[in-house]
Amino acid sequence: MAELKIPMVEIFETVEGEGTQAGYPTVFVRLFGCNLRCTWCDTPYSYPPAKAEQLLAIEEIVQQVQSYHSNRICLTGGEPLMYGDKSIALIQQLAALEHIVDLHIETNGAIHLGPFLDAIASPKVRYIMDYKLPNSGENEQMLLENLTLLRPQDELKFVIGSERDFDFAKQVLQNHDIAAVPLFSPVWETMPPAHLVR
């Protein structure tokens, strides 16, 4: 069987700064490539015209993760699910590491979660879906079926850049049966955090 290789940006260890795992030491595995181009993207170095830092075999990625001490992994990008079967194989191997207690995958909502949920049964694996609101410029790319596939252990993140985004996010939550934990993340330059709690 051919060796599965994935274009990578970086693998590093730091403290998770977002979501329900904020504050925990975490190994970040950042894959190269994204199928969207959000207006406020904070990782433009993770997709063309930037170049991947390296092309790594899945085994090499797993070995690098094992060299760190953290028992949590954040698989991110770019869009870490865009490599399909390769992404599934990577997730399966990372989840199989005995010392790992949490593997959360940051995905953009424009790739169908069904095949990943079907192929990966580990209770360690969680999805953090970043639902793209109007200010992102990519709202029309959202697959609404993903909202109903999210589970109670998953998270649904809304990056809020305007009053319109805020209203849109509230409508999404009201109009869909969503089991995931909803999280609002304001764009500080355009949406003061205090405004979201008024």
63-96: pLDDT as tens digits: 999 999 999 999 999 999 999 999 999 999 999 9
Domains parsed from the chain with CATH numbers: 5-197 (3.20.20.70)
pLDDT of residue 2: 60
pLDDT for the residue 198: 67
At 188 the pLDDT is: 73
**DSSP code at position 89:** H
More confident residue, 192 or 181: 181
Kind of pairing, strands 72-76 and 54-57? unpaired
Contact 127, 154 (CB under 8 A): yes
Residue 46 pLDDT class (50, 70, 90 cuts) = confident
- State how far the Cα of 129 lies from the Cα of 88, in Å rounded to an integer: 16
- Is the C-alpha dihedral spanning 27, 33, 35, 41 positive or negative? positive
pTM of the predicted protein model: 0.92
Across the range 112-134, mean pLDDT stands at 96
pLDDT at position 34 is: 87
The pLDDT score that the predictor gives to residue 35 is 81
Mean pLDDT over residues 3-11, rounded? 91
pLDDT, averaged across the chain: 92
Nearest C-alpha neighbor of 29 from the set 67, 82, 81, 73: 73
Going from the C-alpha of 6 to that of each of 30, 53, 62, 140, the distances in angstroms are: 11, 11, 12, 28
Distance CA 186, CA 163 (A): 10
Residue 25: band (very low, low, confident or very high) from pLDDT cuts 50, 70, 90: very high
**Residue 172 scores a pLDDT above 80:** yes
Task: Please check the confidence at residue 42 and state whether its pLDDT lies above 90.
Answer: no
- Mean pLDDT along residues 153-160: 96
Helix (H) or strand (E) run with residue 165 in it: helix 163-175
